[in-house]
Amino acid sequence: NDAGSFAISNPKNFTVDELSNLFILDDETIKVFDQYGNGKFYFKPDFAADKINVDNGNLIYINTSQVNIFNINERKPIHKFENFPNLEDEKIVDVIIKGKSLFLLTQNRIIKYLISK
């Protein structure tokens, strides 16, 4: 395989942004490709992510207890959320951020949190 650092070996999840950039969660690394499949950059989050999504120019990556927001243009994390009140023993399944609201989907319910940016 001649893809080097951008070779895909264990993909878990992927998403596409409004500019047709492709984001692949590959094992413990997030790899970013342009619309033609050329590798742009990659990074390893500070926790093992289970899922990724793009919203409003930010990459959101999550696991069952944490949410991180990564600014795509600046290529750096900008918010990390963990230790959510009222989450109890539930696990995070998915996340959507709309305006100043963070919606967590668990196995049993949706929980809304207000966030400040």
pLDDT at position 1 is: 45
Mean pLDDT value across residues 41-54: 93
| Domains identified in the chain, total number | 1
Coil vs helix vs strand at 4: helix
pLDDT at position 4 is: 85
Give the global pTM.
0.85
pLDDT at position 86 is: 84
> What CATH number corresponds to the domain at position 44?
2.130.10.10
pLDDT tens digits, residue range 58-112?
Answer: 999 999 999 999 999 999 999 999 999 888 889 999 999 988 899 999 999 999 9
d(CA 73, CA 83): 27
d(CA 14, CA 101): 23
Going by pLDDT thresholds of 50, 70 and 90, the confidence category of residue 2 is low
Q: Which domain holds residue 100?
A: 4-114
d(CA 42, CA 54): 15
Going by pLDDT thresholds of 50, 70 and 90, the confidence category of residue 117 is low
